[in-house]
Amino acid sequence: MADFLLEIGLEEVPARMIAGAEAELGRRVCGLLTRERLLGTKRKLTTYSTPRRLAVLVEGVSPRQADTEEHLTGPSWKVAFKDGAPTAAAEAFAKKAGVAVTALKKVTNAKGEYVGATVKRPGRGAAELLAAELPKEVLGLYWAKNMYWRAGKPERFVRPVRWVIALLGSKVVPLEIAGIAAGKQSRGHRVLHSGKPVLLAKARDYSEALRKAFVVVDVAERRHSIRKALDAATRTVPDARWREDEALIETVVHLTEWPTVVLGDFEPEYLALPEEVLVTVMRDHQKYFAVEGADGKLAPHFLAVLNTEVDDEGRAIIRHGNARVLRARFKDARFFWDFDQKTPLAARVESLKAVTFQKELGSYHWKTEANLRLAREYASWYAIHASATCDRDLCRIVETAVQLAKTDLTTELVKEFTELQGVVGGVYALAQGLGERVAEAIYWQYRPANTEDRIPPTVEGQLLGLADRVQTIAAMFSIGNAPTGSKDPFALRRAANGVIKILAESQLPLDLIRLIRPAVNEAENCSQAKLEQDVRAFFKERLHFYLKDVRGFAYDVVNAVLAADADDVRDAIARAEALTAVRGSEDFRAISAAFKRIKNILRQAEEKQFAIGSAEDVRLSVEAWQFSAAAAALAPEVARLRQQRAYVEALALIATLRPDVDAFFDKVMVLDPDPAIRGAHLALIDEVLRGFSGIADFSEIVTA
């Protein structure tokens, strides 16, 4: 068994693409070796990557494929040999199989005696196979963005390939990738090991040889050492901690071959800027980690992850350089902040007319007006129906917040840091004395940003977030911009997920139809009835997604619950919880099966155009009568429990119908030939179905 090493040397690969490519290369190499029967029983596959290389080391590769034998069967023995001498048929078969006529044997099977030949196929060498097959695998790697670099455009790849190592044990596999012949020379760190080749004697030397050339090829090791270095650098500041940021860790892991860390400072005066601005500059623009004190507040330091190791002089220079850049960025931010304060948010409403929301619809000024009408509607509904006493300021605060919500789009700070829209508006509102509640509503308007994110903590913020999103969705649908398949260019699914999440996790007394209808009523130049239907279906689909994928309910539970009602989000959750709790019980499974049967029978009846009759004046069997009586007795109590949202109790009660249901289906022919009796039966089961499906459509439950 031998070790096989493949290293693709590249110009710096985008950090965001490296992890995926490393894993894919591992899969491809492993797949190829498996396919070609080159993997031994004891094998180990390790993948490596840095910005300048992707590598795979496979231990336990067979130097060549095992030989194989194939048994071929030819014409019948009698045809092939006459009087012991081979005929033309034998000659032809031997030729086809590639063996001498003398090597033909007699094989006997169920049909009789035939001519057989054993063909030996020698296995091919691993080096030969890899040389032929591996380049295709490498060039087949998926990249989010590719480029050409050689004249004539023979191949596309993420960045130019600059060297290739392919070693089987200590021998070079003679392959060529993108015009580069494989060798045994790698390259070390650009600066710390510049110009000097790294010669590999054998495959297994890989990671140690590169380490000597100032390259840590193991990703996990770099991740660990960066975390350690961040800890160590932060310890020099009393009581300080660096802010955990996994995404940023991954980025710097894939930006470095030999990571070290420096701690730098900035002038404490910049701490007067909003923390969000400081963190955004550090994290998104500079890839620095923020440092906080024991109180959790930002401290005037930053941590930069370097791709080099330097002496004290170098550290001082690098620390100084990074601090200089950060200072300039903060200075810019403060300049924007000061400049923006000259025009308060209230004075920016008019200028929203120049900011397009959507070409066919209108400006953000138009959108603000539309949001306002919706928010007013929602707020007054809330004021009337909220279980908690509603304070009198609410409507006024919602109005102000909605009116100013989009004005930060005209500020310099948001133009510079677009990811801070909403946040900037909120911070400005507070600084401009608009009050904490207005500020908070504006601040949180784009939250939740995803299904894991938090919803706005205040009612005003929740109402603003709902109005903004519902308006967008209805308006976009009205001009034919609904999402299709994987295409959702206006992120309407995310907007709807936000609506569902706010409804699910707040205490707002609003259901989807109450949110949707006033938005739909604003639509022009389209059928509002059709629009309402589409938007409701869209929200129902999002609610389905939320219950199933975010809350983890079983799909049949979700189907059952949403078949009963898909407007009240929190109610749907409560019903799904109750249904999940009882669905395992024996009685309930029987009830579910019975409901499925009821539905089928009613469908059949409809197909055959059997009329639903009435139980009056019909002499029913005992079982039918008992079932009817039991259902009638249960109905008011189930309705009462449903009213109180005591769903588990209601469902448990429905499950007590089981003996009567079972007896009914056991003994009674529902579709009786007598139309009067049949009509009465149909009336009975129809009423049961309608009467007890308000919590969930049990027939959707999968019982098998």
Partner 1 sequence: MPSSTVSSSAVVLPAKPAALTFQELLFRLQGFWAERGCVLQQPYDVEVGAGTMAPETFLRVLGPKPYKVGYAQPSRRPADGRYGENPNRLFRHTQFQLILKPPPVNVQELYLESLEAIGIDLSKHDLKFEEDNWEGPTVGAWGVGWQVMMDGMEITQFTYFQQCGGLDLDPICAELTYGLERLAAFMQDVDSVYDVVWAHDPETGAAVTYGDVRLSEELQYSVYNFEDADVDRLWAHFNSYEAEAQALLDRWKAIQENEKATAVEKRRFPIMSTYELALKCSNLFNLLDARGAISVTERVGMIGRIRNLAVGVAKAYVAQQNGAASSS
What minimum distance in Å lies between the beta carbon of 319 and partner 1? 5
Interface segment toward partner 1; rule CB under 8 A; list 80-88, 142-150, 340-348, 619-627:
142-150
Residues 6+ apart with CB under 8 A from 453: 447
Interface segment toward partner 1; rule CB under 8 A; list 126-134, 188-196, 449-457, 686-694:
188-196
Nearest CA-CA partner of 54 in 91, 90, 28, 87: 28
How remote is the C-alpha of 462 from its chain's centroid?
25
Cis peptide before 75 (omega within 30 of 0): no
Could you tell me which residues are beta bridge partners of residue 6?
Answer: 56, 166
Stretch 349-388: interaction string toward partner 1, x if CB under 8 A: -----xxx--x-----------------------------
Stretch 161-180: interaction string toward partner 1, x if CB under 8 A: -x------------------
Cα dihedral across residues 599, 605, 611, 617: positive or negative: negative
Helix, strand, coil percentages in the chain from 3-state DSSP, rounded to 5 = 55, 15, 30
Within 211-343, strands assigned E span: 241-242, 260-265, 288-292, 298-306
Interface segment toward partner 1; rule CB under 8 A; list 96-104, 315-323, 533-541, 667-675:
315-323
Distance CA 631, CA 662 (A): 13
Closer residue to partner 1 (CB): 339 or 555: 339
Residues 44-73 that bind partner 1 (CB under 8 A): 51
Binding-site size for partner 1 (CB under 8 A) equals 62
Decide: 27 and 86 in contact? Cβ < 8 Å: no
Closer residue to partner 1 (CB): 69 or 312: 312
Which one among 41, 102, 152, 384 touches partner 1, defined by CB under 8 A? Answer: 152
Cα distances (Å, whole numbers) of residue 653 to 626, 647, 648 = 16, 10, 9
Fill in the amino acid letter for 652.
A
Q: Is residue 115 near partner 1 by the rule CB under 8 A?
A: no
Pairing outcome for strands 180-181 and 176-177? antiparallel
Q: Is residue 14 near partner 1 by the rule CB under 8 A?
A: yes
Decide: 428 and 362 in contact? Cβ < 8 Å: no
Nearest CA-CA partner of 9 in 210, 243, 274: 210
Which one among 107, 249, 318, 639 touches partner 1, defined by CB under 8 A? Answer: 318
Stretch 213-242: interaction string toward partner 1, x if CB under 8 A: -----------------------xx-----
Closer residue to partner 1 (CB): 332 or 662: 332
Closer residue to partner 1 (CB): 151 or 388: 151
Nearest CA-CA partner of 80 in 116, 118, 120, 110: 116
Q: Is residue 313 near partner 1 by the rule CB under 8 A?
A: yes
Nearest CA-CA partner of 692 in 664, 663, 661, 666: 661
Q: Is residue 668 near partner 1 by the rule CB under 8 A?
A: no
Residues 6+ apart with CB under 8 A from 357: 363, 364, 366, 367
Closer residue to partner 1 (CB): 62 or 256: 256
Which one among 80, 94, 173, 255 touches partner 1, defined by CB under 8 A? Answer: 255
Which one among 128, 155, 265, 511 touches partner 1, defined by CB under 8 A? Answer: 265
Q: Is residue 317 near partner 1 by the rule CB under 8 A?
A: yes
Please give the radius of gyration of the chain, using alpha carbons only, rounded to the nearest integer: 36
Q: Dig out the tokens for 445 from the structure.
A: 């308007």
Closer residue to partner 1 (CB): 149 or 545: 149
Judged by phi (left if over 0) then psi (alpha if -120 to 50, else beta), residue 68 lies in beta
What minimum distance in Å lies between the beta carbon of 427 and partner 1? 21
Nearest CA-CA partner of 349 in 404, 426, 402: 404
Q: Is residue 273 near partner 1 by the rule CB under 8 A?
A: no
Interface segment toward partner 1; rule CB under 8 A; list 146-154, 438-446, 610-618, 691-699:
146-154
Q: Is residue 324 near partner 1 by the rule CB under 8 A?
A: yes
Mapped onto helix, strand or coil, the DSSP state of residue 147 is strand
What minimum distance in Å lies between the beta carbon of 15 and partner 1? 7
Closer residue to partner 1 (CB): 322 or 403: 322
Q: Is residue 471 near partner 1 by the rule CB under 8 A?
A: no
Closer residue to partner 1 (CB): 255 or 677: 255
Decide: 424 and 408 in contact? Cβ < 8 Å: yes
Q: Is residue 12 near partner 1 by the rule CB under 8 A?
A: yes
Q: Is residue 105 near partner 1 by the rule CB under 8 A?
A: no
What minimum distance in Å lies between the beta carbon of 315 and partner 1? 7
Distance CA 669, CA 689 (A): 18
- What is the binding site for partner 1 (CB under 8 A)? 11-12, 14-16, 51, 145-153, 159-160, 162, 190-192, 194, 236-237, 255-256, 263-265, 286, 288, 301, 304, 306-308, 310-328, 331-332, 335, 354-356, 359
